[in-house]
C-alpha cells in the first residue's frame, strides 16, 4: 500500500513513517510541502493515498487540497490537520477528499483510517463529526449560560460594543447590558475583554 505523507513537521513525518512501516503493509514516501508532494506524484507510481497537512507551505487553506485532488487525472487525497474544525472537515469532504484526519487521533486509529481510506472509502472520526452535529452542550462553559447570554457572549468575542450587539440581536441596549453583567458573573470575568478571552480559551465560537 503506497502512502504519500506530506507535512512540514519533520518530527511527525519521521515518527509517523516509522510507525506506519512498523505496522506493516505500508510503503511510504514523504514531502515537506505541496509542491514537493506533487513532484513525487509526477515521478513515482500512483499512490494509494496522499495525506496532506492543512498547514503546510503551498496549501493556502483548501486550495491546496483541491489542487492535489485534481492533479494528474485525480488522486486520492486525505487531509490531516492539527486544528480540527468541523467546518474544515465538512468542506474537505465536500471537496472530494478521501478523508479528514485530526492529529488528535491515536496513532493506532490512524493506521486503520489510512487502510480504510486507501481501500477507497471516505473517512472522518465519528466522535468528532457527531460531537458538533446535534448539539454542542458539552462545553462546560456554554452549559452554564442561557441561549441569549451565549449570543451576547459571541458578540463580545467579536469585539462588538453593547449597542452593536443590541442591533444585531434586535434587542435594546439595557437588555444586552443585563446579559453581559450576568454573563460576567457566571464565567468569572471582570470585563468584556476577559469574557472574550475566556470564551476563546474554551474553544467557543
Partner DNA sequence: TGCGGTTATGTCCGTTCGGATAGGCTATTC
Partner DNA sequence: GAATAGCCTATCCGAACGGACATAACCGCA
Binding site for a second copy (CB under 8 A): 8-16, 18-19, 22, 55, 60, 82-83, 101, 103-108, 110, 156-157, 159, 161, 189-194, 196-197, 200-201
- C-alpha count within 13 angstroms, C-beta hemisphere, residue 151: 16
Residue nearer to DNA on the CB measure, 82 or 174: 174
CB 138 to DNA: min, Å: 14
Q: Which member of 15, 112, 130, 191 binds DNA (CB under 7 A)?
A: 191
Q: Which member of 85, 141, 177, 205 binds DNA (CB under 7 A)?
A: 177
Joined grid coordinates for residue 205: 465560537
Give the total residue count for the chain.
205
Residue 123 is given by DSSP the state: B
d(CA 96, CA 98): 6
Residue nearer to DNA on the CB measure, 112 or 146: 146
Q: Is 161 among the residues that bind DNA (CB under 7 A)?
A: yes
Residue nearer to a second copy on the CB measure, 104 or 133: 104
> Which of the choices DNA, a second copy, none does residue 174 contact, using the CB cut-off of 5 to 8 A by kind?
DNA
CB 46 to a second copy: min, Å: 25
CB 190 to a second copy: min, Å: 7
Residue nearer to DNA on the CB measure, 24 or 147: 147
Q: Is 136 among the residues that bind DNA (CB under 7 A)?
A: no
The CA distances from residue 65 to 93, 100, 105, 162, in Å, are 10, 11, 20, 40
Neighbours of 40 (CB within 10 A): 16
Joined grid coordinates for residue 160: 462588538
Residue 81 is given by DSSP the state: E
Joined grid coordinates for residue 159: 469585539
Amino acid at each position: 500500500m503506497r502512502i504519500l505523507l506530506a507535512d512540514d513537521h519533520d518530527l511527525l513525518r519521521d515518527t509517523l513513517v516509522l510507525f506506519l512501516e512498523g505496522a506493516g503493509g505500508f510503503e511510504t514516501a514523504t514531502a515537506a510541502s505541496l509542491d514537493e508532494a506533487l513532484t513525487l506524484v509526477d515521478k513515482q507510481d500512483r499512490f494509494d493515498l496522499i495525506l496532506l497537512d492543512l498547514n503546510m507551505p503551498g496549501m493556502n487553506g483548501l486550495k491546496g487540497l483541491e489542487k492535489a485532488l485534481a492533479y494528474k487525472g485525480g488522486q486520492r487525497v486525505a487531509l490531516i490537520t492539527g486544528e480540527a474544525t468541523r467546518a474544515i472537515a465538512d468542506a474537505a469532504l465536500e471537496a472530494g477528499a478521501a478523508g479528514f484526519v485530526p492529529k488528535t487521533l491515536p496513532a493506532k486509529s490512524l493506521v486503520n483510517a489510512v487502510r480504510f481510506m486507501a481501500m477507497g472509502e471516505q473517512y472522518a472520526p465519528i466522535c468528532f463529526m457527531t460531537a458538533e452535529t446535534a448539539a454542542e452542550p458539552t462545553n462546560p462553559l456554554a452549559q452554564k449560560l442561557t441561549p441569549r447570554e451565549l449570543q451576547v457572549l459571541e458578540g463580545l468575542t467579536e469585539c462588538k460594543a453593547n449597542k452593536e450587539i443590541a442591533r444585531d440581536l434586535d434587542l435594546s441596549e439595557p437588555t444586552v447590558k443585563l446579559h453581559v453583567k450576568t454573563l460576567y458573573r457566571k464565567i468569572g470575568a471582570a470585563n468584556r475583554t476577559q469574557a472574550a478571552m475566556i470564551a476563546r480559551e474554551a474553544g467557543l465560537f
